[in-house]
Structure formats: structure tokens, C-alpha cells
């Protein structure tokens, strides 16, 4: 990943606009803050780290060069393994783990479905050792040697989330997936993202007004993606409409129980009614939307 100041410098030289697709708020929050309010950068901000980043994200970049087989070969080298472990130790301590290996939660491992929803600290204790950063690093290496794992990393500052969210240049998106209900341990945002913003950051804490939040979720991103016929309610626009109860909408999904639908969404219209009074209909008009870049 590039540092935000590097992106800003390139954008300035090109006299262009470049949206920062996702804001990883944590150890680099001061860097992110540099872009808020500068030029016309558009930031996409979501609460919670991305779902299903490979556990390999804890490894140094040089150890990943050449693909998985090359990485495993390096792990078999005494010298390389020692260097890799030293780098992994610092990742949960200062970056992706937010200072504690319990903040790294396994989403899935292709070799063992029972690992899902366990933390790195849990898996380290299962090896009959304390979940120190050094022992946790050995757990990461052991998992990487066995196969592919995905994880959720909890390392964000709530103050940073609110500050970035307030920026007039910030759009709101989940970067989530469409999980199979009840399978695995996806990030809660796949079920809860937009409802949480409307419940917590609009109704409960007044970080945003309802109008601001709706625009950041709909009209603003549609405009930025050059989807001129979507994102606002007016004659001639596509009839994509979500009807909510502002006083009832709330998220229910959490880390322990991620497969929970939000409440307070009454109707959804995508040209035809697909959700009526909270019940899914038989209509399936949805389709993939392509922007001008596809041409």
C-alpha cells in the first residue's frame, strides 16, 4: 500500500482527482488526517477493518514476493523465518492487532473450518503457550504453513472514525461481501454497515445529520462514479429506493454473532419492490452496474 502523502503528491503533479478507496484508520491516522479537507480528494470510510484480508497481511511484503510457494520456501529457511517472525511480532503490537493478538479474529481457514471466529490469542493458547507477541507470531507462521486463512483486524480509533466521517469529502461504503447466512465468521459490516451509521452516528451521537449520511451513502458516490441516473430521488432517475424508519433502524450483527440482519428497513425498490414491510418478495431485478471505465 502507498502512503497517503505519496498519493497526494502524485495527484497534485497530475492536477487530477484521486479518491482514496478505503481509509485504514489506526496507526497511520495522522497521515489520513492530512488529506481531510485538502483539494477534492474523496475518501471512502467504513467502521471496522476489511473482511477477510489474508492472514498473510501480518507478514512483511518482501516475504510475499513470488507467491505462496515462495513464501513457504522462505519460512523453511532459518534466517528468513527469523526475519519474518520479527516483522510479524510488530504487526499485532503496533498496527493490525491494535496492541493485542486477541484483536486478530480468524474468519476462515481452508484446512480447518473449526478455526473460524477464534482469535489469534485463542489459537496461541491452544498451543499451550501464553499469547505473547512472539508466541502469536509462531502461531501465524504455523497457520500460513498449513494453508490459506482470512482474518478480521480490530485496530481502529473511534475518534478517528468520527473525524473522518465528518469531512465533506467523505463517502461511506462497507467494502463488505454478501455472505452465505450462517456460514463462517464474516465481518459484521456485511450485515450492519449502513444501519450502524444511521443508528449510531446519526440518531445516537449526532456525528452526521440524516441528510448528510444519506448523501454520503448514495448521491455522492453515484456522482463520483459518474452514474448520473442514480443516487437521488427526482423525475427521470432510476427508481432505486430504500424506505427506512429513522427511529427504528439499527444494526444487530457483531463480532460474536455476525449473521444478524439489521432492523428498521421497511421497503426496498429496484424498479420493482424486492422488500415489502421487511419481507423479501419474489422479485429479482438487481444487476451489476458498470461505470464509464468499463468502456
Give the tens place of pLDDT for each residue, 161-186.
Answer: 888 889 888 899 887 778 889 887 77
**Residue 37 covered by a domain:** no
User: Is 195 part of any domain?
Assistant: no
Asked whether 186 and 179 are in contact (CB, 8 A), the reply is yes
Output the pLDDT for position 40: 44
Q: Which three cell numbers stand for residue 250?
A: 439499527
Segment 217-256, tens digit of pLDDT = 999 999 988 899 999 999 999 989 999 999 999 999 987 7
Element (H, E) at 162: helix 158-166
115, part of any domain: yes
Within-domain flag for 63: yes
Tell whether 190 is covered by a domain: no
Cα–Cα distance measured from residue 181 to residue 189, given in angstroms and rounded to the nearest whole number: 13
Query: What would the mean pLDDT of 151-166 be, rounded to a whole number?
Result: 82
pLDDT at residue 48 greater than cutoff 60: no
Any domain includes 291: no
The residue segments making up the domain with residue 75 are 53-153
Measured CA to CA, the distance from residue 92 to residue 151 in angstroms comes to 12
Residue 121 lies in a domain: yes
pTM over 0.75: no
Number of domains comprising the chain:
1
Query: Does residue 182 sit in helix, strand or coil?
Result: coil
In a domain, 133, yes or no: yes
Amino acid at each position: 500500500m502507498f502512503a497517503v502523502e505519496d498519493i497526494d503528491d502524485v495527484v497534485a503533479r497530475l492536477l487530477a482527482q484521486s479518491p482514496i478507496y478505503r481509509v485504514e484508520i489506526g496507526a497511520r491516522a495522522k497521515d489520513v488526517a492530512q488529506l481531510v479537507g485538502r483539494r477534492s480528494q474523496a475518501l471512502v470510510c467504513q467502521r471496522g477493518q476489511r473482511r477477510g484480508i489474508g492472514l498473510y497481511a501480518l507478514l512483511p511484503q518482501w516475504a510475499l514476493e513470488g507467491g505462496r510457494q515462495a513464501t513457504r520456501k522462505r519460512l523453511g529457511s532459518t534466517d528468513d523465518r527469523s526475519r519474518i517472525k520479527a516483522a510479524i511480532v510488530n504487526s499485532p503490537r503496533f498496527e493490525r492487532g491494535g496492541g493485542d493478538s486477541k484483536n486478530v479474529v480468524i474468519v476462515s481457514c481452508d484446512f480447518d473450518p473449526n478455526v473460524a471466529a477464534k482469535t489469534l490469542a485463542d489459537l496461541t493458547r491452544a498451543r499451550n503457550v501464553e499469547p505473547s507477541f512472539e508466541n502469536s507470531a509462531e502461531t501465524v507462521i504455523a497457520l500460513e504453513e498449513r494453508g490459506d486463512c482470512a482474518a478480521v483486524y480490530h485496530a481502529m480509533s473511534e475518534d478517528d472514525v468520527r473525524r473522518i466521517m465528518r469531512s465533506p469529502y467523505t463517502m461511506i461504503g462497507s467494502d463488505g461481501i454478501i455472505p452465505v447466512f450462517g456460514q463462517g465468521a464474516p465481518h459484521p459490516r456485511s450485515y450492519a454497515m449502513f444501519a450502524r451509521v444511521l443508528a449510531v452516528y446519526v440518531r445516537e451521537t449526532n456525528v452526521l445529520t440524516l441528510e448528510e449520511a444519506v448523501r454520503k451513502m448514495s448521491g455522492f458516490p453515484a456522482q463520483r462514479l459518474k452514474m448520473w441516473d442514480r443516487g437521488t430521488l427526482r423525475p427521470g432517475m432510476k427508481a432505486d429506493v430504500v424506505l427506512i424508519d429513522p427511529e427504528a433502524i439499527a444494526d444487530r450483527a457483531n463480532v460474536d454473532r455476525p449473521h444478524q440482519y439489521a432492523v428498521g428497513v421497511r421497503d426496498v425498490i429496484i424498479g420493482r419492490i424486492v422488500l415489502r414491510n421487511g419481507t423479501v418478495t419474489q422479485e429479482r431485478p438487481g444487476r451489476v452496474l458498470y461505470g464509464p471505465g468499463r468502456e
